[in-house]
Amino acid sequence: MASAQPDTTANGNTQPRPGPVEELEALVIGAGVTGLYMLYRLRELGVDAKIYEGGSGIGGTWFWNRYPGARFDSESYSYGYGFSEELLQEWDWKEHFSGQPENERYLNFFADKFDLRPHITLNAWIDAAKYDEESGTWEVTCSDGRRARTRHLVACVGILSATHMPDIPGIDSFQGESFHTSRWPLEPVDLTGKRVGVIGTGATAVQLIPEVAKMAGHLTVFQRTPNYCAPLRNSEIDPETQKQIKASYPEILKKCRETFAGFVHDFDPRSTFDVSPEEREAHYEAIWAEPGFKKWFGNFYDIMTDRDANELYCEFVRKKIRERVDDPEVAELLCPKDHHFGAKRIPLETQYYEAYNRDNVTLVDVKSSPIAEITPTGLRQENGDEHELDVIIYATGFDAVTGELTRMNVQGIGGQTIKERWADGPKTYLGLQSAGFPNFFIANGAFFCNFPRCAEIVAEWVSDCIGYMKRKGLTRIATTAEAEDAWVAHAQELTKDLLRSDVNTWFYGTNIPGKTDSFLFYAGGAPAFREKVAEVAAKDYEGFELS
C-alpha cells in the first residue's frame, strides 16, 4: 500500500511528501453501498481492484450520516444486497426501517464476509485524478500525498454526499457548537438541556427534529419551505415475520426489479379520476395507513403528471397535518402550498408533527424573514429577531448527484475537468460515462430508484464491462459524443410531462446557487434503464469506442 511521508518546509510546517505510486487495474472511489459491491464484483472477475475511501470507516452514507434519527426510508429487506442467498439468510434486520447503527454494521458485515477489507484504503481523500493520454491510465493523488495509477477509475461517490452549507454571513463567528447533519461526529453529541437551533426542514431534519426535541432544553426550528411529510410507521421485526421475509426474498426482489422506482410499492394503474370521490378518499386513507413509500409510489399513476390529480392529494396531506398539530397557526406554517406533492423528496417521519406540540419546540418562518446572519451567540433574522443558541445544526442538504464529482479535480483529455464539462448540466451516456473521460465510470445510480437496487444495476454493468475488456485484451473505453448527445436528448424528453413547481429542489439542482437547472435522474424508471444498458452491452457496448 502506498503511503505519504511528512515533509517539513522552510517555515516548519509539515506537509505530505509524495510516496510510491500504487499500480492498479481498477480504482474505486468510495466505500459505500455501490463501491463495496463494485469491489466485490471486480475481484470476483479477477480484476486487481481497490477502494480509496475518504472516511475513517466504511459505509458511505451510513458512515457519514449518523445524526439522531437517521434511518432507512425504504424497507430494510428491500435495501440489502440481493445477489447472495447466503447473505440474505444470514443477516437479520431488526426493524422494518433500519436505523444508522445497524445499517453501518450491515455494510461492515458485508465487507468482512467477502474479505473486502484488505482491499480498502481508508482516510484516502482524493484531491485530483488526471487522465494520461500517452499511457491511457488515470493518475490519482490523495490529500495526504498518497498516489495511484489505474487503468480504470470508477466513481462510487454517492448521489447525496457533497455537503451543502448555506451562504450565511457570520457562520464562523458562532462560539457554540455547530454541525452539519451529513458530517455528524463519531462521538456522541450531548444536547441535554441546551438551546438548539435546526436550520432546514428536509428529509434529514424531519428525522432529526423529533429526536432532538426529546433532549434539548429548547429547540428552535428555522423553516424556509415546509414539506409534504408522510408517516413512516416503523416497527421491530418479530421472529415469525423474520422467517416470512427470508422465505419471501425471491418474490420481494422480483417485485423490486419490476417496479418503476425499485421499491416494493408500485403505482396504482388507475387514474385519480377513474374513481368516485369516495373511492379516491378511501384509497388515500388505505395507502396512508401503510408503512413506507406506499403513500407516494402506491398512489394513482397520474399523481406526478396531472396537476389537478396532484392537488387533490396535496389537500388530503394538508388535512392530515392539520389534524396532528395543536396550534392552527403552526399547522398552517407546516402545510406546503407552493409546490406539488413529489416536487421535493417526500420525508417519511415518526412523530415529526407532534414535536411541534411540545412546549420546548418553536417553529420560526425564515421565508417571510430570512436569516440575516449567524452571530457569536446565535442567529439574527432580517426583521431583527434574535435567537440565542448553544448549538446550531445545519440540515441544509447536498449538492446532489453531481456535486462530489465537480468538486473533485477530475481531468480528462486535454485537461478538461468534469466541472467544466458539466457547466451547463451533466452530460453522460447512460449516466455511466462522459465524453472526453476514457475509462472513467460514474457509478452513482443516478436514476429515481431505491438506491441499492440502482447500485446493483450499475455495479454489475460496469464490472461486467471491465471484465469483458480484460478478457478481450482491450485497454480503453470511451463514449462517443454522438451517443452522449442522443442519451441526453432522450433523458430530457422523458421529463417533459413531469410536474414542475417554482421551488428549489435537489432533484433539479436548484437548491445550489448558480447550479444549472437540470433534472438529475433518469426519469424512465429502473426496469427501462436496466433494459437499455443490457441492450448496449449485448451489442458489444454500442455507443462506446473500445480499443
What pLDDT, in 10s, does the model give residues 53-67? Answer: 999 999 999 999 999
Q: Cβ neighbours of residue 12 under 8 Å, at least 6 residues apart?
A: none
Residue type (1 letter), 511: N
- The larger pLDDT score, comparing residue 3 to residue 64, is at 64
Rounded mean pLDDT of the chain? 93
Q: How high is the pLDDT of residue 443? A: 92
CB 210 within 8 A of CB 349: yes
- The pLDDT of residue 446 is 57
Mark whether 337 and 357 lie in a shared domain.
Answer: yes
257 part of a folded domain: no
Same domain, 197 and 152: no
The CA distance from 304 to 340, in Å, is 9
**Stretch 275-302: mean pLDDT:** 97
**Whether 180 and 150 share a structural domain:** no
Q: Is residue 430 part of a domain?
A: yes
Q: Which three cell numbers stand for residue 402?
A: 453531481
The verdict on 27 and 113 lying in the same domain is yes
Of the residues 376, 394, 412, the one at which a domain ends: 394
What was the pLDDT predicted at 18? 62
Q: Cα separation of 215 and 218, whole Å?
A: 9
Question: How does pLDDT run across 506-529, given as a tens digit for each residue?
Answer: 788 888 898 888 888 888 888 999
Residues 165 and 309: beta-carbon distance below 8 Å: no
Q: Quick one: average pLDDT of 476-483?
A: 98
Rounded Cα distance, 340 and 335, in Å: 11
Indicate if 48 and 144 belong to the same structural domain.
Answer: yes
- Bridge partner list, 431: none
Residue 501 has a pLDDT of: 85
CA angle at 434 for the pair 428 and 439, rounded to the nearest 5°: 135
Q: Quick one: 205 and 337 in the same domain? A: yes
**C-alpha span between 49 and 54 (Å, rounded):** 17
Query: 357 in a domain, yes or no?
Result: yes
Q: Are both 60 and 112 inside the same structural domain? A: yes
Q: What angle do CA 481, 486, 491 make, to 5 degrees?
A: 125
The number of angstroms, rounded, from the C-alpha of 15 to the middle of its chain's C-alpha atoms is 33
The DSSP bridge pattern shows strands 348-349 and 378-381 to be unpaired
Among 394, 418, 434, residue at a domain's last position: 394
Instruction: Note whether residue 507 is domain-resident.
Output: no
Question: In angstroms, rounded to a whole number, what is the distance separating the alpha carbons of residues 55 and 126?
Answer: 11
Residue 273 DSSP symbol = G
On whether residue 506 sits in a domain, the answer given is no
Number of domains in the chain: 2
Distance CA 367, CA 224 (A): 5
Residue 192's domain comprises 171-238+262-394
Does 387 lie in the same domain as 485?
A: no
Residues 26 and 84 occupy one common structural domain: yes
Residue 420 sits in a domain whose CATH number is 3.50.50.60
Residues 218 and 348 in one domain: yes
Residues 197 and 318 placed together within one structural domain of the fold: yes
Q: Identify any residues that bridge with 387 across adjacent strands, giving them in sequence order.
A: 379
pLDDT digits (tens, 9 = 90+) for 178-228: 999 999 999 999 999 999 999 999 999 999 999 999 999 999 999 999 999
pLDDT over 80 at 464, yes or no = yes
400: helix, strand or coil: coil
Together in a domain, 390 and 405: no
Q: Which residue has the cell 394538508?
A: 318
Predicted pLDDT at 7: 36
- Indicate if the alpha-carbon torsion angle 270, 75, 322, 228 is positive or negative: negative
Instruction: Write down which residue in 394, 422, 457 finishes a domain.
Output: 394
pLDDT at 169 over 90: yes
| Distances 128 to 176, 180, 369, 416, 525 between C-alpha atoms, Å | 34, 25, 41, 12, 33
Main-chain dihedrals φ then ψ at residue 535, nearest 5 degrees = -65, -40
Sign of the alpha-carbon torsion through 351, 310, 331, 182: positive
Q: State whether residue 100 is helix, strand or coil.
A: helix
256 in any annotated domain: no
DSSP letter, residue 190: -
pLDDT score of 1: 28
User: Torsions phi, psi of 54, nearest 5?
Assistant: -70, -25
Cβ–Cβ < 8 Å for 268, 299: yes
What single letter denotes the amino acid at residue 170? G
Model pLDDT, residue 2: 33
* pLDDT at site 260: 87
pLDDT tens digits, one per residue of 83-136: 999 999 999 999 999 999 999 999 999 999 999 999 999 999 999 999 999 999
